[in-house]
Chains A and B, each alone.
Chain A
Amino acid sequence: AQKITQTQPGMFVQEKEAVTLDCTYDTSDPSYGLFWYKQPSSGEMIFLIYQGSYDQQNATEGRYSLNFQKARKSANLVISASQLGDSAMYFCAMREGANTGNQFYFGTGTSLTVIP
């Protein structure tokens, strides 16, 4: 089974609108971290936001927020007030366990295009 599933290969959003990028995950480990990265066409992976499995509240970082629904194993990224510079590939990732040497599992990504 896929550890991370991103079902939206491509998304379009109007500038200044909000957009939600979907991510579901699969793990039996009670301790895990969920991450979102942005990858512009230049190629660099930029860390956006983190949610720990034991965090009680949804993570927020500026215009980014994470809609964490633990029972549904989903960790959707919400970008508010989209800007043209938000056009990029977005990857959801997970790391399992604490101090266990586990790798990052990446989803296949969602390509977001912001329309003026």
Chain B
Amino acid sequence: DAMVIQNPRYQVTQFGKPVTLSCSQTLNHNVMYWYQQKSSQAPKLLFHYYDKDFNNEADTPDNFQSRRPNTSFCFLDIRSPGLGDAAMYLCATSETDSSYNEQFFGPGTRLTVL
């Protein structure tokens, strides 16, 4: 089945130790998104790629970076995780960015910062 895959599902890192979260998709969608979701809150968009075009949300901290080496893969790098970065990180894709295209989400990576 076509899907969005995130690895790992659970990630534990130490304060200040860089961490990379990965996302892959078999849907061949043009757009990939990274969201941060804290407990009992709505997902917050960090950035998205339309093909190779990178779009950063204005309030995304510089501590968060992203790479999309090809259509299928997208990575989220947290350069120096702080305690406040502990959250669920959701990757999503959509065929285009049109208003009628739903987003397909991966299962998420739950990040713990010690």
Contacts and interface: CB of A to CB of B under 8 A. Distances in A.
* Interface size range on A against B: 20 to 34
B41 A108 contact: yes
Contact of B108 (A43, A96, A102, A109): A43
A10 B91 CA distance: 26
Nearest to A50: B102
B100 A50 contact: yes
B104 interface: yes
A58 B17 CA distance: 49
Interface string A42-58: 11111100101100000
Interface string B97-112: 1111111111110100
Interface of A: 31-33, 35, 37, 42-47, 50, 52-53, 91, 95-104, 106-109
Given A33-B100, A43-B90, 10 more contacts: A31-B99, A33-B98, A43-B88, A47-B103, A47-B105, A53-B99, A95-B99, A97-B99, A102-B97, A106-B42
16 contacts: A32-B99, A37-B105, A42-B107, A43-B90, A43-B108, A45-B43, A45-B103, A52-B100, A91-B42, A98-B98, A98-B100, A99-B96, A99-B97, A102-B97, A104-B45, A108-B42
